[in-house]
Structures are given as C-alpha cells and as structure tokens.
Homo-oligomer: A and B are copies of this chain.
Amino acid sequence: MLAGQEIVWVTGTHGFIGRHISRTLASKGHFVAGLGHGAWPEMEAAVWGVSAWLNGDIAASNLGQLQRLSGSPKTIYHLAGGSSVGAAIAQPREDFARTVSSTAELLEWVRQYTPNTRIVAISSAAVYGSDHEGPIREDALLTPYSPYGYHKRMMEDLCRSYGASFGLAFAIPRLFSVYGAGLKKQLLWDLCSKLAGNNGEIELGGTGHEIRDWVHVEDVARAVVACADLADTSGPVVNIGSGEPLTVRDVARRMIDAWAIHGHPKRDVVFSGKSRAGDPFSLLADVTRLGSILPCLNHTTDAGFDAYVGWYLAASRGNV
C-alpha cells in the first residue's frame, strides 16, 4: 500500500461487475481489497487492480481477516449476492443466503468495527417488478416479481434499517441490464451461443417485445463508484441504466447484424411466446438522477454489441 492511498473493499470482487468496479477503483489510485467466492490467482486479481483477495463467505471472521490484510476501508462496494433470476427460482434458500444473509453479516460487522465506512450496496432493477411502463423513477413502488427481486429489496431494507437505527451511510445503485465483454450468461451470451451453433432460425423465449435497458459494464463501474459520494444515512437510490428502451427483438436483430459483419450469413429469429418465470415485461431506467453524477456514458449499445460479438468470436477461437 502507498502512503495516502484510500482503502476500498469490493465484495463479490471476482464476479463480472466486481472485476470492473475493482479496476475502476484501482485506476483512481485506491487500494482495492476483495472478498467473495472464486479461486483467483494473485496475478489475475492484480490484472483487475485487486491487491488483496480472500476467497470465502461474507462472514465476520473473513471481514476481520480482510481488515488485517488491508486496514479499515473508507468505502465498501457490496456486490456479493445471487446473480440470476433463474438461479434464485431454482434454489431460493441459497439466493437468500447469498444476497440477504451476507448483507446482514456485512452491516453488523461494519456497525461494530468500522461504523464510518460508507457502503455502496448494489441492487437491481428486479426490485421494481412487473407493474411498470416507461421510464421507472427511483421512488416508484417496488413490486418484486421473483425471489431474486424480493431478496434484493430485502438487502436494501437491511441497509435502510442500519442507516436509520445505527447511522451507517450508504447508497443504493440499482443496476439494469449490464453487459460487456466477459459476460458468459444472459441474452447476449445466449444469442452468440445460438449464432455459433447450427444454422437456421434462432429461437428465443418470450414474445420478443419485452423491454430492457442495456448499459455497458464499464459505464456501470464508473456510475457505481460515483455513488459513493452520495452515501448518507437515508441511502439515496440511483438507477444505473442507459435510458434507452430496447426490445429483445431489437437486441436480437442488432446482434445478428453485428455477427454478419464478421462474414457470417444473417439469420432469422423467432420467439416461443412463452415468458420465463420471474421476467417482468418492461424495465427501463429513468436516468435523471444518474445524469447528475455521470453526465455521459462512454458506450452506446450499437458499439457495445459489436464489441461483444467481437469478444465472443475471439474467445471462441481461444484468443482471449
């Protein structure tokens, strides 16, 4: 550690978003320490700017150990938690443990040992649920639609409880559909996997009319880091999205176009018409508040989807 370096922690560091947040923090000169699941060789963690890494649950013992390694953090970016609606439906108790119990453990440890540490608790647009049309403001009614969404809301409530009763300062970014090179799940990954497979029609679930708000992981990382300075005991919420409504059909067409740039024939896409459990119809961010802390995004979806396809093809040739 260098003299004067700010110590920051990232939980769930090894995940797709955690790695990018760590790199953004390291690029600002911070000392980044992390805790979460994953075997992560020191050299690889260092590539992402992580100087100290513990592979384990968010438990008091591990948090104490991390404090011994790095010192007390000025800010904790709390990303540890379940990471998909489908997994939460398949194993709801496990998702509860990862998302809710881990937060209970973290907040209690902070209350007892480092009560001045700011917490940026990463939530999800899933807390808004299925009752919305058009851009969703942060003060919209929360009607979660899946165990994943319920557990994220419970995570938020735990922060509010510790803010109100114990004076912890926190902020809550709610992430919409995050994508970027390296993400090996969700719609873009599924589309690439199908485009790389047999020829013929691409079939997707749902109707194709579902609306999502896609935002690049590097913009998400910058936005999340900017949220730290908003932290207070009332826990401001900030939507992290692009504000651009794209249907699943739009996304599929753009990905097929991007795929064609690489010399592959264009393919058709069809939809099963069957929605997936826990899948709201429309999740679009009102980005007014985000605009006040991050005026511009660096990645458009057009360029971002092209880059994703480029990464996928390179990775599948073993070049990444």
Contacts and interface: CB of A to CB of B under 8 A. Distances in A.
A165 B96 contact: no
Contacts of A151: 161
A18 to B, nearest CB: 24
Contacts of A150: 157-158, 160-161
Contact of A153 (B111, B157, B162, B278): B157
A166 to B, nearest CB: 7
A165 B277 contact: yes
A104 to B, nearest CB: 5
A238 B111 CA distance: 35
A93 interface: yes
A153 B111 CA distance: 21
A278 B93 CA distance: 30
Nearest to A277: B165
A166 B144 CA distance: 14
A151 B253 CA distance: 45
A101 interface: yes
Contacts of A101: 101, 104
Contacts of A145: 164
A104 B108 contact: no
A165 B108 contact: no
Interface in A145-183: 145-147, 150-151, 153-154, 157-158, 160-162, 164-166
B153 A165 contact: no
Contacts of A147: 161-162, 165
A108 B89 contact: no
Contacts of A104: 93, 96-97, 100-101
Given A101-B101, A147-B161, A153-B157, 17 more contacts: A89-B165, A92-B107, A92-B108, A92-B161, A93-B105, A93-B108, A96-B108, A100-B104, A144-B161, A145-B164, A147-B165, A150-B158, A150-B160, A150-B161, A154-B158, A165-B277, A165-B278
10 contacts: A92-B107, A92-B166, A93-B105, A93-B108, A97-B104, A101-B101, A147-B162, A147-B165, A150-B158, A165-B277
Interface of A: 89, 92-93, 96-97, 100-101, 104-105, 107-108, 111, 144-147, 150-151, 153-154, 157-158, 160-162, 164-166, 277-278
